[in-house]
Amino acid sequence: MKNDTYERELLYWSEQEPVWRDLEGKTVMISGASGMVGRCLTDLIMTHNRFTGHGKETSIIALSRNREHRRR
């Protein structure tokens, strides 16, 4: 469930340079990706990837044990 406030927060945090410097071009594994925290982290990384330059995207390996809840 997304709303305008959530989208604004994702955009704000996806633009914060110090947060992303160490993750650019890396792969991260998110355990529990269908849960609240895992879903938020996945959304945040994907939002950042939309605005980053080619080759600087952060790849995601999302783990979830519930097929019905996984989104991507």
22-58 residue pLDDT tens: 898 999 999 999 899 999 999 999 999 988 877 789 9
Encode burial over 41-62: b for 16+ CB neighbours within 10 A, e otherwise.
bbbbbebbbeebeeeebbebeb
Q: What is the pLDDT of residue 41?
A: 93
Q: What is the pLDDT of residue 43?
A: 94
pTM: 0.80
